[in-house]
Amino acid sequence: MKKNNRLFYIVVILSTLIVTSLGVKGYQVNNLIKRVERQVEEDKKILQEEQEKLSELQKEVTEIDTPEYIEKVAREQLGMVRKEDIIFKEKQ
């Protein structure tokens, strides 16, 4: 009878330890899942921002290939003019 009681207590103690350790592991896994979900949301926001930047850059690249843009750069940055343009210079 004592042997059965002792065995019963051992089984109860081991079962309690197993359930407790499973609970702790479950809690740790749950925290890990929450952290990963937050990171995924942050990464989605970053991806959206980068996609918007890419879209703007693609639009800019498309505009760069137009004759109007080339003329604008030539006039503003290089100081070029057309033959028919009238140039006014300030006296110094």
Comparing 82 with 14, the larger pLDDT belongs to 14
pLDDT surpasses 90 at 16 = yes
Across all residues in the chain, what is the average pLDDT? 90
Comparing 82 with 12, the larger pLDDT belongs to 12
59-79 pLDDT per residue, tens: 988 888 888 888 888 888 888
| Interior angle at CA 20, CA 14 and CA 22, nearest 5 | 100
pLDDT band (50, 70, 90) for residue 91? confident
| Interior angle at CA 50, CA 72 and CA 55, nearest 5 | 40
